[in-house]
Structure 1
């Protein structure tokens, strides 16, 4: 499975879990209601935007939904806290 297929699988799984259409998921994850639909239609995406979007999904994944097994889930980085 390539990166685009992975992104679309994660987006569709998220949409189903939240009961949303793809344009709403596109807005939440990418700030653009048309981007995921464009990707479905064959548009490309820059690698940094892909990585940022996949991190967004990982950080905002519904607690009761199962992340797709075929897609590696990005690790959530917790900022180090400074203790005085």
Structure 2
């Protein structure tokens, strides 16, 4: 599973748990509602910094009753 697939998996699991659309999650996390759909469609990418920032946001805001996907590294705190 590549990093884009990991980002989409985490964002879709979060969206489902929070009863939000993918575009709403994209707006909250990436400040642009179309980004996650564009990544899923193969029309966009994100920088390493954006990926790390997004994954940290998901980790910090992850629902307590939802298991983090085992195949995805979970950042525990902001990188130094």
TM-score normalised according to structure 1 size? 0.86
Q: Which has the higher contact order (CA 8 A, sep 6+)?
A: 1
Q: How many residues align?
A: 77
SS at 1:5 equivalent: helix
CA RMSD in angstroms, aligned pairs only = 0.9
Instruction: Give distance in 2, aligned partners of 1:64 and 1:28.
Output: 21
Question: Highest Rg: 1 or 2?
Answer: 1
Q: Which runs of 5 or more structure 2 residues have no equivalent in the other structure?
A: none
In structure 1, what is the equivalent of residue 10 of structure 2? 10
Any idea what SS the aligned residue of 1:71 has? coil
Give the Cα separation in 2 of the matches to 1:44 and 1:70. Answer: 20
Task: Return the offset for 1:11.
Answer: 0.4
CA displacement at 1:41 relative to structure 2: 1.0
* TM-score when normalising by structure 2: 0.90
**Partner residue of 1:25?**
25
Shift of residue 75, structure 1, vs aligned partner: 1.3
Q: Compute the displacement of 1:34 (Å).
A: 0.8
Show structure 1 runs of 4+ deviating over 4 A: none
Helix, strand or coil at the partner of 2:65: coil
Provide the rounded CA distance (Å) in 2 between the counterparts of 1:37 and 1:56. Answer: 18
